[in-house]
């Protein structure tokens, strides 16, 4: 039977791994969204990105839904 220390160690290893994977997915999505916005603004210099796109960018960067 595993000891209490083994269980806690495995839990924190899993938690660290999970956050690492989650953060890389979020970073990859932010990078992809940034590239898409840059391409869009380069192709259409007088256009402004839609509210939905900028809101999604804020949610990804801040980690929560922006108010106002």
pLDDT digits (tens, 9 = 90+) for 24-51: 777 777 778 778 777 777 776 666 656 6
Q: How far apart are CA 62 and CA 30, in angstroms?
A: 11
Indicate the pLDDT class of residue 68, thresholds 50, 70 and 90: very low
Averaged pLDDT score across all residues of the chain: 69
Q: What is d(CA 34, CA 31) in angstroms, rounded to the nearest whole number?
A: 5
Give the global pTM.
Answer: 0.37
Q: How far apart are CA 60 and CA 23, in angstroms?
A: 11
Q: What is the pLDDT of residue 59?
A: 64
Over 70: is that where the pLDDT of 56 sits?
no
Residues 6+ away with beta carbon under 8 Å from 55: 65, 66
Q: Which helix (H) or strand (E) holds 40?
A: helix 4-43
Higher pLDDT, 7 or 45: 7
């Amino acid at each position: 039977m595993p000891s209490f220390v083994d269980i806690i160690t495995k839990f924190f290893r899993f938690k660290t791994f999970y956050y690492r994977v989650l953060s890389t997915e979020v970073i990859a999505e932010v990078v992809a969204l940034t590239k898409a916005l840059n391409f869009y603004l380069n192709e259409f210099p007088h256009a402004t990105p839609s509210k939905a796109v900028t809101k999604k960018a804020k949610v990804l960067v801040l980690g929560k839904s922006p108010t106002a």
